[in-house]
Amino acid sequence: MGYEAKKRLTQAVIHLILIIVSFVMVVPFLWMALTAFKTVGESTSVSPFVIFPSKWITDNFVTVWKNMDFFVLYMNTLLLIFFRVVAACLTATMAGYAFARLKFKGRDLMFSLVLFQMMIPSQIFIIPQYLMISRMGMTNTIFALVFPGLVTAFGTFLLKTAYQGLPNSLEEAARIDGCSIFQTFLRIMMPLTRSSMVALGIFTAVFAYKDMMWPLVVNSSASKMPLSAALATMQGQYTSNYPQLMAAALIACVPMIVIYLIFQKQFIEGIATSGGKL
Amino acid sequence: MATKSIGRKPKMSPWDKSQLIWGWIFIAPTMLGLLILNFYPIVDTAIQSFYRTMPFNRGNVFVGFENYINMIADAEVWQSLINTFKYAIIEVPFSIAIALVLAVFLNRKIRFRSGYRTIFFLPMIAAPAAVAMVWRWLYNSQFSLINNAFGLHVDWISDPNIAWISVGIIGVWSILGYNMVLFLSGLQEIPGDYYEAADIDGANGFVQFFHITLPLLSRTIYFVLVTRVIGALQLFDLIYMIMDGTNPALPKTQSIVFLFYKYSFQNNQKGYGAAIVILLLAVTMIITLLQNLFQKKWVNQD
């Protein structure tokens, strides 16, 4: 076998493996969609086993949309994501800048506290966080959903690294021109860390979207749940009706997946820089 | 040249003063937030673990080490710890090994590279609740795809001997693409001439993988391993969504965090829940410590 033929064979084998894995990755989503368009009878038919619905019905989507009030769930999820992203980016960029570029007493001690927080499993915080929300009488509010994500040790760490990568000359020039520290930060340094801010924003958004335990703990009212918690509670109500369950799962997943497909490069990089905190 | 330190205590220059003030203003929101949201809760959780939560909001009663003593005697807690480790033993090695192979493939000049990457990464974007729901349906023993496609009669999630593997498979499926992306970025830092030189020497793909890729990627692999193990210990969503209270496989699959959730928020025994989560902290710390010790042996230092 010649070199070229051997190379082509290797390529073919690699593609075959990649296609098989792709298929395994996609099948659950396809099955979700196929089931969502079936009747209950069709979805539980064994002989013959039905893969494609004979008639693509949309009743399941209409029913679950109405029963679960998905418009409200989308809004709650959107608000949760919005406030978490804004709060995380704002607090982390300020703290990251100070830790990376300013020299002041107590800085290193405070930063070691930030690192310490990152080592602790987050479940430790949940009981007291819940008790705080409960004492404030804030259960079943958007604020309760946002609460644990108001600040971020990980984001602070991420942005500190970003600020450390910037050259000293910029700051020195700004200082000679008479810029105050705040002006230097706002006008010169912060715009240069845009890509890290985007990464943190995407990471925060996906994390907020996927988080299930905290919303289940604080918001038991259906009108204040985000998608993740609503899906979890829905399962108990419709256990046997898989077409409806799959329709709901699809409605909950599709917006995020569409956004991901559009911005996939930023998503993958954003989440990959998070370095495993998911 | 002009600086003469006259006084014993040099006075703070206006610049240093300005840094001190702005520095603290900038870190204040984060530090205050961490104090309220994280550091106080650590202490509070530790304190709670010494109390028993009384029913009907009758307050807490100090019980000393009772929660811990009960926990050590509680077979359910130990079993859930074993279950969590069994899950990790499936999820961590398989998701790392498969991801590594895929990353090596995608690091070559190959068509549809970004298409494959997008597909493999897809589960990271899906809500875990939805992922769990569809897998539960796929695993359905009577009506669904897996058993009917392969002509099997396996009780994937209600057979106590199999269910932990089934949950582990979902874990591998979910995290594969994420590990792969981390490996890909690690691979891109390996200079291409290493492989070119190996090609000239006639080293085949396997030899190159074991002699170039693996050693140079050991730092990334180690990092992924550490974060995956710690992540696997926090298994909750899948168990919560897949295992009903009536599922006979529940005792053999429920994780330590699931048990924490059950006691803290379903049974309203927050004291006991707090003790369980302190156990999780201890286990996490021990593993982190062990991993730090092994790191020197394992990772290729430049």
pLDDT digits (tens, 9 = 90+) for B11-54: 788 888 999 999 999 999 999 999 999 999 999 999 999 999 87
Contact A44 B277 (CB under 8 A): no
Q: What would the mean pLDDT of A90-108 be, rounded to a whole number?
A: 96
* A272 inside 8 A of chain B by CB: yes
pLDDT at B30: 97
Q: What would the mean pLDDT of A123-143 be, rounded to a whole number?
A: 96
CATH topology of domain A69-237: MetI-like fold (1.10.3720)
| pLDDT surpassing 70 at residue A143 | yes
Which is more confident, B60 or A87? A87
Q: How far apart are CA B266 and CA B247, in angstroms?
A: 17
Residues of A in contact with B42 (CB under 8 A): 120, 124-125
Q: For the segment A55-86, what is each residue's pLDDT rounded down to a tens digit?
A: 999 999 999 999 889 999 999 999 999 999 99
Contact B264 A103 (CB under 8 A): no
| pLDDT surpassing 70 at residue A239 | no
Q: For the segment A241-272, what is each residue's pLDDT rounded down to a tens digit?
A: 899 999 999 999 999 999 999 998 888 887 77
Residue of A nearest to B20 (CA): A104
| pLDDT surpassing 50 at residue A278 | no
Please state the domain extents for chain A: 3-60, 69-237
pLDDT at B57: 66
Q: What would the mean pLDDT of A144-151 be, rounded to a whole number?
A: 96
3-state helix, strand, coil in chain B (%, to 5): 70, 0, 25
Residue of B nearest to A13 (CA): B105
Q: How far apart are CA A172 and CA A100, in angstroms?
A: 15
Say which of B34, B129, B228 has its CB closest to residue A113: B34
Q: For the segment B190-228, what is each residue's pLDDT rounded down to a tens digit?
A: 888 888 888 888 888 788 888 888 888 988 898 899 889
What are the tokens at B37?
């949201």
CATH class of B73-298: mainly alpha
Residue segments in chain B with a per-residue pLDDT below the cut of 70: 1-10, 56-58, 298-302
Average pLDDT for chain A: 91
pLDDT at B256: 97
Q: Are A14 and B108 in contact (CB under 8 A)?
A: yes
pLDDT at A274: 62
- The closest of B269, B232, B252 to B76, measured between CA atoms, is B252
Q: ipTM value of the model?
A: 0.92
| pLDDT surpassing 70 at residue A98 | yes
Say which of A49, A250, A271 has its CB closest to residue B124: A271
pLDDT at B56: 66
Share of chain A above pLDDT 90, in %: 73
Q: How far apart are CA A26 and CA B291, in angstroms?
A: 34
- The closest of B6, B232, B29, B212 to A95, measured between CA atoms, is B29
pLDDT at B108: 84
Please state the domain extents for chain B: 15-66, 73-298
pLDDT at B229: 93
Work out the minimum CA distance from A103 to partner chain B, whole angstroms: 6
Most confident of A121-135, A224-238, B175-189: A121-135
